[in-house]
Amino acid sequence: MKVFEANITNSVITFFENSKGQSIEILNSKIKSICGINTFFETQSELDELINTISNSNNVINEPDRAEYGDFQTNINLSDNVCNLLKNQNTTPEIIIEPTCGKGNFIISSLQTFETIKFIYGIEIYKPYVWETKFAILNYFLKNKNSNLPEINIHHYNVFDFDFKKISKKHKDQKILIIGNPPWVTNSKLSSLGSDNLPLKSNFKNHNGLDAITGK
């Protein structure tokens, strides 16, 4: 089943079904106590839409093709292996930052692997993935109630506009691990897709003629 175009597990659906009628303030506080996420719902309308959607068991949404955004999601086996490799190298992070967190697999793998985490920051530009990451984290803690519980912030933001200095300043004396698999896609692929997701270009080297068009 999908809510907000994001996959949601039966355990999370059951959790929200049992939470019907609670105010956004009470539910956000309850969710934070369970899984550490700050401000799970930003507005009452988000909560209302979720409750209405899970009441419709026939809700099916086709997942869009996001290849033009370099969107190739890291599978959980790979993220598990990366985290285990880091742990075997005696990596003991207190702060986890995933600049493009996608569906949250690296965050889930980090939670499973590192018991030293105090804060997690995930940044993601695509809103359905923000929801999927939140649902995945809640699902993890519903099934692993005795796991280490860090404070978690999932931001709906363009990573290039995000102010990482605030995080650096807040945690300047702590061990920070930046983890993830950044999206990538070539200009030629974008052209073949007819995409408008193209970087701005300029002739900053002041070439003339064909060199200005093709580069040199």
* Averages of pLDDT over each 10 residues, the chain, 216 residues: 91 96 97 98 96 75 44 80 98 97 96 98 95 98 98 95 95 96 61 56 71 61
Place of tokens 């993890």: 140
pLDDT, residue 187, reads 56
Total number of domains in the chain: 1
pLDDT given for residue 79 in this prediction: 95
Please give the model's pTM, rounded to 2 decimal places: 0.81
Bridge partners, residue 86, by sequence: none
H or E segment at 211?
helix 209-214
Look at residue 69 in the predicted model and tell me its pLDDT. 43
Q: In this structure, is residue 188 part of a structural domain? A: no
For residue 198, is it within any domain?
no
Is 16 inside a domain boundary? yes
Domain of residue 6 covers 2-60+74-178
Query: What local confidence, expressed as pLDDT, does residue 195 receive?
Result: 52
- Residue 211 in any domain: the answer is no
In a domain, 50, yes or no: yes
Q: Is 62 helix (H, G, I), strand (E, B) or coil?
A: coil
Instruction: Please check whether residue 200 lies inside any domain of the structure.
Output: no
The CATH number of residue 148's host domain is 3.40.50
Question: E strands within 103-212?
Answer: 119-124, 151-156, 176-178
Is residue 195 domain-resident? no
Q: Do residues 142 and 15 touch, judged by C-beta distance below 8 A? A: yes
Is residue 67 in some structural domain? no
Contacts 24+ apart (CB under 8 A), 25-34: 31/138, 34/138, 34/141, 34/142
pLDDT for position 65: 44
pLDDT at 206: 76
